[in-house]
Amino acid sequence: MRTTGYSNEEALLEISKKRHPELSDAVHYMIIEKFNEVPLLVNFLAGALPNGKVTDETAIGYVRDTTIEYLGRPGRYKVRFKSR
């Protein structure tokens, strides 16, 4: 029997690329390196990165300026920006 599926990194990369296919692979890897769990990545993509087409430069700025704070309750996070 053959088992298929995604590793954690592959799944995060797939989610990131589906949401913003216009970004380069290098930017996707930067995003998933910082937001390396599904809840963190989803909160970043939905709560920080603008909808629509985004340039690599814009995305990098958001990656650098965004933190995701766990609020202590299951499934609750707060997206915070340093300079936006």
Please state, in angstroms and rounded to a whole number, the distance separating the CA atoms of residues 38 and 11.
8
* Residue-wise pLDDT tens digits, 16-61: 999 999 999 999 999 999 999 999 999 999 999 988 899 999 999 9
Please state, in angstroms and rounded to a whole number, the distance separating the CA atoms of residues 25 and 41.
16
Please state, in angstroms and rounded to a whole number, the distance separating the CA atoms of residues 58 and 51.
12
- Which H or E run contains 84? none
Please state, in angstroms and rounded to a whole number, the distance separating the CA atoms of residues 68 and 79.
5
Band (pLDDT 50/70/90 cuts) for residue 2 is: low
Let me know if 34 is exposed, middle or buried by CB neighbors in 10 A (0-12, 13-18, 19+): middle
Least confident among 7-11, 15-19, 69-73: 69-73
User: What are the residue ranges spanned by the domains of the chain?
Assistant: 8-81
